[in-house]
Amino acid sequence: MANIISDETIDYVGILAKLELSEEEKEQAKKDMGSMLDYIDKLSELDTEGVEPMSHVFHVSNVFREDVVTNGDDREAILKNAPEEKDGMFVVPRTFE
């Protein structure tokens, strides 16, 4: 099953991708896109009866953890490393005049 990709489609995809393609590159892109669409057509022939839809090949569970503070407020210990401190903050040199 050969998918025919038009010049207009290649031009439009080039605009979306912000690409300037030569005529040779456009022809190659047409072939490549056609091959991809042929492969997708081939995949649609597979019998997926009874196969649950999924978003990942492997089982993915919630990887997020509760946001729990574990180190507390170590402001005093942190400020001991500061060369200079004022009102509980680091004092740094000005970066502009």
The CATH number of residue 34's host domain is 1.10.20
Domains: count for the chain: 1
At 12, is the pLDDT very low, low, confident or very high (cuts 50, 70, 90)? very high
Q: Is 90 exceeded by the pLDDT of residue 16?
A: yes
Residue 23 lies in a domain: yes
Cβ atoms of 38 and 3 closer than 8 Å: yes
Residue 29 lies in a domain: yes
Confidence at residue 9, expressed as pLDDT on a 0 to 100 scale: 93
Q: Is 90 exceeded by the pLDDT of residue 55?
A: no
Residue 35 lies in a domain: yes
Query: How distant, in Å, are the alpha carbons of 20, 47, 61 from that of 6?
Result: 17, 31, 42
- Tell me the pLDDT of the chain averaged across its residues: 87
Residue 96 lies in a domain: no
- Residue-number span of the structural domain to which 34 is assigned: 7-43
Residue 80 lies in a domain: no
Confidence at residue 52, expressed as pLDDT on a 0 to 100 scale: 85
Residue 20 lies in a domain: yes
Whole-prediction pTM value? Answer: 0.48
Residue 75 lies in a domain: no
